[in-house]
Structure 1
Amino acid sequence: MWNLRILQWLNGASGESIIAGTGVQDASGNIYATSNTANTVTRYPQGSTSGTVMVSSGLTYPWGLRFDTYGNLYVVDDGSGTIVMFCAGFTAGSVGTIVASGLNQPLDVAFDSNMNMYVCEYGNNRIVKFTKVP
């Protein structure tokens, strides 16, 4: 169904390298990827195939990731039905803040230009909109 991998092609290489599962890139070119079997989020520096585990506890089957325009990272935690936010510049071992809960198998998150948050809720076959609080 899904191949769940991030591939890297280096200039002059004869093939690709599998870096991680699903992920996103930050403004500095680092790749952040979830492992829904290890329940972690790992950061891979630009051009590297080895990373640093940034989130190692508190997640149950993390899936989608997204940065907002302020550099905050949102992790979709399918197993707990939550969206967890990590503030811009967070360090390894940081604890996130639950910004949405009670979701049924959330898979991904997105933002519009007004910073409203949209969550793909697979378990209820719908998109849920969370209006930005001023």
Structure 2
Amino acid sequence: MNSFSKETVRYRFFGPQSFDHSMAVRFCNIDYDREIAIAAFVKEDGETRMVGVGRLITEPGEETAEFGEAVTDQWQGRGVGGKLLDMVIDVARDFRLRRIWGEVLSDNQNMLGLCESRGFAIEPEREHGMVRATLEL
């Protein structure tokens, strides 16, 4: 999480977050009955590191799911977020979900533009500067 600026953390988690051990465990231990994480990695200077992650979370038996994603600042604007979102959409279709949705801060124009380019409907601002992006599958 050290590769995320305060703004990127705010866009993903809607406010400041401290990433202690329990938070790291939460992100690494996935409940495969209800969520999936897709990670993007790069290899630079002989080292492999994660540069982004997309998530899809649902309740068992539901036909809708929430999505979220984050890309490290250095890799934003380079297609990683679009590829992750495409993969999240593909997984949702494979799981025969009917709809995916995500809460996005209204000033996160990059994410809103990415969602719109993939056919998401953007609902008007709701509360606390949040909008909802919804894709009917």
**TM surpasses 0.5:** no
Q: Which has the higher contact order (CA 8 A, sep 6+)?
A: 2
TM-score, L = length of structure 2: 0.31
TM-score, L = length of structure 1: 0.32
Structure with more of its chain in helix, by fraction: 2
